[in-house]
């Protein structure tokens, strides 16, 4: 059975219950051809989850790169992914942006508003993640991030006025079922399916996303 996020039928975690991080990372590389790389993980310290980096005030406990050259770690090989997570089975699954996809990150409330608007507009969506820190990342074709400021200005907004963050080359997103401290796991608001293998261009989604972020201010 698949788990579903309360409040939306589309929000499902595609992996089966009990599927390991290793198996999930391998599937992302094998089935979606996404590059993956291992991040930090959670450790129990005095009964509370603590990031493996050792920083008690870590802003993303259990879900950030562990080395500065993380981009060179990213692999699209299922064989390499299997070997990497076999060595560290608790490592979070991180996906570099700017390669097979970019991502547009917005607050959760704006994201659900945008999803409803996109459904009415009958837009084709790619995968969308929902994180425990209440943000959503909409996957779009790579190369879309640099266009965002100008596209937002064309719609009558100043980029600084909207909480809409483009993630392209040099950035990354945490993939389900990566956990963030005690706040829970990353989930899919729109899960990867054969139907959304072909991603939308950022320009196709910017209008409903900007509108939703403007309403959410």
**pLDDT tens-digit profile of 106-164?**
999 999 999 999 999 999 899 999 999 999 999 999 999 999 999 999 999 999 999 99
| Dihedral Cα 12, 13, 18, 20, nearest 10 deg | 180
What pLDDT sits at residue 16?
A: 43
CA separation for the pair 15, 36 (Å, rounded): 16
What pLDDT sits at residue 183?
A: 80
Confidence class for position 35, pLDDT limits 50, 70, 90? very high
C-alpha atoms less than 13 angstroms from C-alpha of 101 in its C-beta half-sphere: 27
Residue 37 confidence (pLDDT) above 60: yes
Q: Are 74 and 35 in contact (CB under 8 A)?
A: yes
What pLDDT sits at residue 18?
A: 54
Per DSSP (E only), the strands in the chain are 37-38, 42-45, 48-51, 93-96, 102-107, 128-130, 135-140, 165-167, 172-174, 187-190
Q: Which two tokens stand for residue 66?
A: 């562990």
Q: Percent of the chain, pLDDT > 70? A: 92
How does the average pLDDT of the chain come out, rounded? 89
pLDDT tens column, 45-91: 887 889 999 998 999 999 999 999 999 999 999 999 999 999 999 99
Write down the domain spans for the chain.
21-215
pTM of the model as a whole:
0.89
């Amino acid at each position: 059975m698949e788990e579903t996020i309360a409040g939306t039928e589309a929000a499902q975690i595609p992996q089966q219950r009990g599927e390991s991080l290793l198996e999930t990372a391998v599937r992302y590389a094998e089935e979606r051809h996404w590059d993956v790389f291992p991040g930090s993980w959670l450790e129990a310290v005095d009964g509370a989850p603590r990031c493996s980096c050792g920083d008690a005030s870590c802003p993303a406990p259990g879900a950030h790169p562990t080395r500065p050259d993380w981009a060179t770690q990213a692999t699209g090989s299922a064989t390499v992914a299997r070997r990497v997570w076999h060595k560290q089975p608790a490592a979070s699954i991180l996906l570099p942006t700017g390669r097979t996809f970019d991502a547009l990150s917005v607050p959760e409330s704006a994201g659900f508003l945008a999803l409803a608007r996109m459904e009415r507009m009958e837009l084709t969506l790619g995968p969308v993640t929902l994180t425990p820190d209440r943000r959503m990342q909409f996957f779009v074709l790579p190369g879309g991030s640099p266009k965002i400021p100008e596209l937002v200005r064309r719609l009558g907004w100043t980029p600084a006025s909207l909480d809409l963050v483009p993630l392209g080359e040099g950035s990354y997103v945490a993939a389900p079922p990566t956990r963030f401290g005690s706040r829970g796991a990353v989930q899919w608001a729109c899960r990867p399916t054969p139907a959304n293998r072909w991603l939308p261009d950022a320009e196709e989604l910017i209008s409903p996303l900007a509108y939703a972020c403007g309403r959410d201010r």
